[in-house]
Amino acid sequence: MVAVETGRIPLNIALSIVSAGDDDNAVQIALQEAYESGKLRGKQLIQARRVLERRQTYGRTVTRGTPKKVQDVTASSLVRVYQKEVGRQKQTVKKAEIVQQRLLFILGALRELYADENFTTLLRAEGLDTLPKYLAERVWPGGRSI
């Protein structure tokens, strides 16, 4: 309350901090210290709070499924957790981009192969003249078959 009155923390950030860790004052103190030191600002602070809430509920990984308590929450550990989560999300985006590039390469190769009449004749003779709907729609407009 004092930090809001003195102007160190905006009201919306203070409300976000107060809503974190209802039964654990250490989380609130860590969030406040991280904000006041400038290590986490605005959306970063809110995202870090959400990561902490998930960890309080599920532990470090969701697959464990048993509730665990976050211990020794400090401003620096909060920043580390936030940075780790940001890194994980960036890695997921990078993997998705790689998968998309590979899919585009495969679609280009399929278009080229299906443009060759000898190849399509061979596929018909072997009974392999259909594609899954998802691929057919991307290889040919309207998703026609060979």
pLDDT of 116 > 80? The answer is yes
The pLDDT of residue 141 is above 60? yes
Boundaries of every domain in the chain: 2-91
**Token pair of 56 as six digits:** 């309080």
Q: Under DSSP, is residue 124 helix (H, G, I), strand (E, B) or coil?
A: helix
Measured from the Cβ of residue 53, the count of other Cβ atoms closer than 10 Å reads: 15
* Mean pLDDT value across the chain: 78
Q: What is the pLDDT of residue 23?
A: 56
Residue 24 scores a pLDDT above 80: no
pLDDT in tens, 61-103: 655 555 555 466 788 888 888 888 899 999 999 999 999 999 9
pLDDT for 107 beyond 70: yes
Structure tokens belonging to residue 106: 């495969």
Q: At what angle do helices 42-58 and 11-19 cross, to 10 degrees?
A: 10
The C-alpha atoms of residue 119 and residue 94 are separated, in whole angstroms, by 35
Give me the mean pLDDT over the 47-66 stretch. 67
Contact of 24 with 71, CB cutoff 8 Å: no
